[in-house]
Amino acid sequence: MNKIASFFKFEENNTSLSTEITAGVTTFLAMSYILFVNPSILAEGGMPSQAVFLATIFASAISTLAIGLIANVPYALAPGMGLNAFFTYTVVFSLGFSWQEALSMVFICGLINVLITVTNIRRLLIIAIPNSLQNAISAGIGVFIGYLGVKNLGLLQFTSDASNIVSVNGMEPATESFAGGITSVVSTGGILQQLVDFTNPAVFIGLAGLFITIILMLRNVKGAILIGIASTTILSIVFGLTDLSSINFSDNSLSNAFAELGTTFGVIFTSKGLPSLFGDVGRLPVVVMTIFAFSLADVFDTVGTFIGTGRQSGIFTDADMKALEEGKGFDSKMDKALFGDSIGTIIGAIFGTSNTTTFVESAAGIGAGGRTGFTSVVTAACFVIAMFFSPLLAIVPAEATAPALIIVGILMLSSLNHIDWDNFEVAVPAFFASIFMGFAYSISDGIAAGFISYGIIALAQGKAKKVHPILWVSMGLFILNYIVMAIL
């Protein structure tokens, strides 16, 4: 135990073995939904779901372990939500690429991530972001994760009349039925978001879990967030909202899953993967634009998560940020974290899943006290164990982990105090990088809105030269990305 404490610097980071274990489990429970959601989304694109389940586990466990050991930071990685939807609904459905070709694009995206990390481009990007925007991004992560918690708690319902529906399953909503059922609906701003009518018992269970967690936090109880998750799950079972009889270890056996994994593991190196992707020269512009879209979202989701959660919690201190600015190679903690993250997408693509990125739900473990890479080691171990007990994970309902996300969101909003809201020049980009992040339900889109508005204001005031060149390049890439997305 002393060797573990020494290696991960427990004393220096004011933590303990028990706290790190609790934090690691908390992070895993907060993001465990990805084990079921990711296979279901990628399976719609033709991928074998059990293979994706194992690919999700291996990609998450290996990349999370890597970032914990390399950088000694409490972050967890897994296939990113939004990126997996882009994989299926845009790349496979709309653009007509096979899932093998889509995986090949993800693999190339991973190589690009490694390249821009080892060439210090991602480091320069972080240094270029002014403090006002860094604080706004931190608060924006809080808004985003808090909104995610409120939504998962079941407190919101969304209504759209037929005239506002743009597409169903990626097609015009003209037909009355869809083969295989409805999987996605896109609506305009006419959709109405409102509070539920409280007829769903699960909402009351979630609210009970939320206030249990709040009370435990107020009393400074160690492991408050994890206890809150466990308590809410127990309440869900007691009141019959979770059916234990549905647990079935015989279905989707591990042997069948490994058999299916053989169809996805390394498929990018076969004739159906990279050779097929570049076999048609006429598709090359679309291929390049799609890889670009993948990469941009992946990079800024990670940068936003590190800045947002790391600065607020003290994972990345002022000394760490100074080391980032003045160091070379991979000297600083942030450098090592960026490198650890950059290899995740490559690992995921080889196993057979969409882009792997740093999960914002890592903030749940950080909120539970996680401060070192041992939190990540525990989370990685939980992913491996989940391989054998996946049916049990299904009994942890969304309303059990939602309170953890809400609590962490509340804690992170304190970054708003460091923004000069009385200065309109500062307030506009800060709004878009923080509050708008939750509205857009996207970390990268919130950062894009903050950057672009920051640039427009600088131009309007004749201060363009004061904006770091890296920010101008980032703004241009974001605008180009939106043009590409419109074309695709």
For the chain, the three-class secondary structure string (H helix, E strand, C coil) is CHHHHHHCCCCCCCCCHHHHHHHHHHHHHHHCCHHHHHHHHHHCCCCCHHHHHHHHHHHHHHHHHHHHHHHCCCCCEEECCCHHHHHHHHHHHHCCCCHHHHHHHHHHHHHHHHHHHHCCHHHHHHHHCCHHHHHHHHHHHHHHHHHHHHHHCCCEEEECCHHHEEEECCECCCCCCCCCCCCCEEECCCCEEEECCCCCHHHHHHHHHHHHHHHHHHCCCCCHHHHHHHHHHHHHHHCCCCCHHHCCCCCCCHHHHHHHHCCCCCHHHCCCCHHHHCCCHHHHHHHHHHHHHHHHHHHHHHHHHHHHHHHHHCCCCHHHHHHHHHCCCCCCHHHHHHHHHHCHHHHHHHHCCCCEEECCCHHHHHHCCCCCHHHHHHHHHHHHHHHHHHHHHCCCCHHHHHHHHHHHHHHHHHHHHHCCCCCHHHHHHHHHHHHHHHHHCCHHHHHHHHHHHHHHHHHHCCCHHHCCHHHHHHHHHHHHHHHHHHHC
* pLDDT reported for residue 356: 94
pLDDT at residue 71 is higher than 60: yes
Domain span at 17: 2-171+185-487
Question: Is position 195 within any domain?
Answer: yes
Whether 92 is in a domain gets the answer yes
Q: Is it the case that residue 252 has pLDDT exceeding 60?
A: no
Q: Is residue 178 part of a domain?
A: no
Condensed to tens digits (0 to 9), the pLDDT of residues 296-341 reads 888 888 888 888 777 667 788 777 777 777 766 677 788 888 888 8
pLDDT at 175 over 60: no
At residue 33, the pLDDT reads 82
Which of 137-141, 247-251, 277-281, 409-413 comes out lowest in average pLDDT?
247-251
The yes-or-no verdict on residue 469 having pLDDT over 60 is yes
Q: Work out how many domains the chain is built from and give that number.
A: 1
Residue 240 counted as domain residue: yes
314 belongs to a structural domain: yes
Tell whether 123 is covered by a domain: yes
What pLDDT is attached to residue 134?
A: 84
pLDDT(404) > 70: yes
pLDDT (0 to 100) of residue 135: 86
Is residue 270 a part of any domain in this protein? yes
pLDDT digits (tens, 9 = 90+) for 405-434: 888 788 778 888 889 999 999 999 999 988
Note whether residue 179 is domain-resident. no
The region of weakest confidence among 19-23, 103-107, 207-211, 360-364 is 360-364
